[in-house]
């Protein structure tokens, strides 16, 4: 029978003390090891899980012939990015060469594939680490599909979707992204442009539409892990595992860029893990549905915003840090309550653990204040919802496989 976390911790502390008369292990280290083993065990379960209630995964992961039916993934998007088809209507392009030439990319490299004009479903021949020279500027109607291999984009500039549509990025590791210098970059077979210094984000969506980022593992980039800015909309960010980064996710360019009022983003089934500071996400102006995510770590806050964004937090699991000064899930970026009290932030069905609390405002706060107001506010949020939330008790199982999966040919993922 599996031990509960408190009993497991007591057992490890006791056995560590008894096995050596001259050395007693640091209790804080033991706690960290127990947490690591708990997370590892949880993620290992996902290798063999199927039918967890996660609607994206249940759409395709139970198929042992997923490799032959790769493009079925495009039928599984949900949320505001649900119409994203990526390269479904195109040919398969196989990346065989991890090298990169930003101005004249070679056939067989990732950059050569993503800049083509026609739709392409891009897969990889074998495990590889791709160190880009400049931002990877994607063209429309492309899927990057890392299933079946271990693909890392790391130690250089990373991915940018700029005024393009129908992009799927799935199943890759994106980490240690750097701010690149200026230089020539090809963004189509017939066009090269001089680009300035890049921000160092893992993925930047700049004026993009119909973009879906799913089952990626992201960590430790120079700027943000994922930024969605400059009027981007119809975006879903799902099933990702994010760790070891301060400013995780920015949705909305700046307080002065009002075009982001049309932004609609769904954040679903992600695991926000160890070593994260805040911005999970940080929002401006638009409408943001944050649903069925697992927040196991934050150092400052989880969800924040400015410029009157509408945030609907639904069915998430929030485990607050032990630091008594950072129990609040939310952060309203304004100098006074009078400046943010009418921003529409609502929490519905969220699970608050270890003292976590969500400060509602606007229609969300009014819904809590009275039943009559609550009906109106609930209807407003229901109409704008991007998907149906699952019960919070399912969040752990639905997010157990968050991040890049270990998919093997002939087996369910």
Active site residues: 279
Structure token pair of residue 2: 């599996």
- Residue 277 makes CB contacts below 8 A (sequence gap 6+) with 245, 246, 247, 248, 298, 299, 300
Q: What is the DSSP string of 194-218?
A: EE------SEEEES-EEEEEES-EE
- Reduced DSSP (H G I as helix, E B as strand, rest coil) percent helix, strand, coil of the chain, to 5: 25, 30, 45
Token digits of residue 320: 């607050």
Q: Provide CB contacts within 8 A for 366, sequence distance 6+.
A: 373, 374, 377
Contacts 24+ apart (CB under 8 A), 293-297: 293/267, 293/268, 293/269, 293/317, 293/395, 293/399, 294/270, 294/395, 294/396, 294/399, 294/402, 295/319, 295/329, 296/39, 296/271, 296/272, 297/272, 297/273, 297/321
- Burial string for 29-49 (b: 16+ CB within 10 Å, else e) reads ebeeebeeeebeebbeebeeb
- Secondary structure of residue 282 in the 3-state scheme: strand
H/E element holding 27?
helix 27-45
Tokens 């249940």 map to which residue?
Answer: 58
């Amino acid at each position: 029978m599996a031990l509960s976390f408190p009993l497991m911790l007591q057992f490890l502390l006791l056995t560590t003390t008894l096995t050596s008369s001259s050395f007693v292990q640091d209790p804080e280290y033991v706690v960290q090891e127990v947490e690591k083993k708990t997370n590892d065990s949880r993620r290992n379960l996902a290798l063999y899980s199927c039918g967890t209630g996660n609607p994206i995964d249940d759409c395709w992961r139970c198929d042992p012939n997923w490799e032959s039916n790769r493009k079925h993934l495009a039928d599984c998007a949900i949320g505001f990015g649900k119409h994203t088809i990526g390269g479904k209507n195109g040919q398969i392009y196989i990346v065989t060469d991890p090298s990169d030439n930003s101005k004249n990319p070679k056939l067989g490299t990732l950059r050569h594939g993503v800049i083509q004009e026609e739709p392409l479903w891009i897969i990889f021949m074998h495990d590889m680490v791709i160190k880009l020279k400049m931002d990877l500027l994607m063209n429309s109607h492309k899927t990057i599909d890392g299933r079946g291999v271990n693909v890392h984009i790391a130690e250089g500039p990373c991915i940018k979707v700029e005024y393009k549509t129908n992009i799927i990025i799935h199943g890759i590791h994106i980490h240690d992204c750097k701010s690149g210098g200026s230089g020539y970059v090809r963004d189509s077979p017939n066009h090269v442009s001089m680009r300035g210094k890049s921000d160092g984000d893992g993925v930047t969506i700049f004026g993009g539409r119909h973009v879906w980022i799913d089952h990626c593992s992201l960590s430790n980039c120079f700027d943000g892990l994922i930024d969605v800015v400059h009027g981007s909309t119809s975006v879903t960010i799902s099933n990702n595992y994010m760790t070891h980064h301060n400013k995780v996710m920015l949705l909305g360019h700046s307080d002065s860029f009002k075009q982001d009022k049309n932004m609609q983003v769904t954040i679903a089934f992600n695991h926000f893990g160890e070593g994260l500071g805040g911005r999970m996400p940080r929002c401006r102006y638009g409408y943001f549905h944050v649903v069925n995510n697992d927040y196991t770590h934050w150092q400052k806050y989880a969800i924040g915003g400015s410029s009157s964004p509408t945030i609907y937090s639904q069915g998430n699991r929030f485990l607050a840090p032990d630091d008594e000064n950072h129990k609040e899930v939310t952060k309203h970026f304004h100098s006074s309550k009078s400046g943010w009290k009418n921003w529409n932030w609502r929490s519905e069905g969220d699970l608050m653990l270890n003292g976590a609390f969500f400060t509602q405002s606007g229609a969300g706060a009014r819904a809590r204040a009275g039943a009559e107001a609550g009906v109106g506010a609930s209807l407003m949020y229901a109409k704008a919802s991007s998907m149906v939330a699952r019960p919070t008790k399912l969040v752990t199982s639905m997010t157990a496989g968050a991040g890049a999966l270990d998919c093997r040919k002939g087996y369910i993922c």
